[in-house]
Amino acid sequence: MGFLVIPAVDIKGGKAVRLSQGRMEKETIYSEDPLTTAKMWEEMGAERLHLIDLDAAITGASSNRDIIKEIIGSLKIPVQVGGGIRERSLAVDYLDSGASYVIIGTAALERPDFLKELVHSFPKRVILSLDARDGMISVRGWTQDSQRTVLEVVREYEDMDLAALIYTDILRDGMKTRPDFGRTRELLRSTRIPVILAGGIRDIEDIREGIKLKEMGLLGVITGRAIYDRTLNFRDAVQISKGGLKC
């Protein structure tokens, strides 16, 4: 598998938005129609879509499920979907609707048995979300900090048949301040599970830097605000990730 540059479509109140540092009051609305946005990224060469229900991430319930399922069913590329998936029934609903992967964050940390059972039922189709602020895991839509470090959590779930880990640096998310590649390397050295990096992507140089970590186990990067604000040319990023442009 090549290096993935994964566009993010975050849904809040039925609209495609981007947040800064995960703060709901710091939103920028990019589209009234998330389906059209998702199709646009597919047409521009995306090989996977990152689809998040922001409302559900905070409350555990929302009215965005039908929109999300419509997007999943309308795309040909794999979709990884997350945000408020804290019950088996919702995870199964998304997988049955065609999602390639479900992303579990809060529920994995608060109810480890839930994650274990889900992974046992759906091996290689569950992604563990590691959302961190200064290296410490945060839950409930990034509104509550825990007392556990990223590496502690990784060690606990290392033996599971997970599809990947998503490592998000909350303080850099949506800020275009460049990812923390130092902590990313530390994580890659600590796990055999493929890692997807999120938070801070700004421009093509970050894609080049990420590709350098592919051999260490970096599967790809998630990008949102940079491609919406166009500080990162998405087509160029995809071409570089496929070796079509000189790194």
131 an active-site residue?
yes
User: Helix 65-74 vs helix 88-96: angle between axes, to the nearest 10 degrees?
Assistant: 30
Beta strands in 99-243 (DSSP E): 101-104, 126-133, 136-139, 144-149, 164-169, 195-198, 218-223
In the set 10, 53, 169, 180, the catalytic residue is: 10
Evaluate whether residue 73 is within a structural domain.
Answer: yes
Evaluate whether residue 246 is within a structural domain.
Answer: no
Q: Do 27 and 181 form a contact (C-beta atoms < 8 A)?
A: no
10 an active-site residue?
yes
Note down the domain range covering 145.
4-241
Among the residue ranges 97-111, 159-173, 207-221, 223-237, the one predicted with the least confidence is 159-173
Q: Quick count: other Cβ atoms within 10 Å of Cβ 24? A: 15
Average pLDDT, rounded, for the chain = 88
Evaluate whether residue 87 is within a structural domain.
Answer: yes
Evaluate whether residue 247 is within a structural domain.
Answer: no
Tokens representing 17 are 């938005």
Evaluate whether residue 72 is within a structural domain.
Answer: yes
Question: Rounded to an integer, what distance in angstroms lies between the CA atom of residue 198 and that of residue 113?
Answer: 26
Relative to beta strand 144-149, strand 218-223 is: unpaired
Q: Do 30 and 16 form a contact (C-beta atoms < 8 A)?
A: yes
Q: On the CB side of 31, how many CA atoms lie within 13 Å of its CA?
A: 18
- CATH number of the domain that residue 191 is part of: 3.20.20.70
Amino acid at 67: I
Task: Count the domains in the chain.
Answer: 1
Q: Which helix (H) or strand (E) holds 30?
A: strand 23-31
Evaluate whether residue 83 is within a structural domain.
Answer: yes
Among the residue ranges 48-57, 140-149, 159-168, 197-206, the one predicted with the least confidence is 140-149
pLDDT number for residue 25: 47
Phi-psi region of 92 (alpha: psi -120 to 50; beta: other; left: phi over 0): alpha
In the set 53, 55, 131, 206, the catalytic residue is: 131
Judged against a pLDDT cut of 50, whether residue 243 lies above it is answered with: yes
Q: What is the pLDDT of residues 1-50, one digit of tens each?
A: 689 999 999 999 898 886 654 455 456 787 889 999 999 999 999 999 99
Evaluate whether residue 193 is within a structural domain.
Answer: yes
DSSP state of 86: -
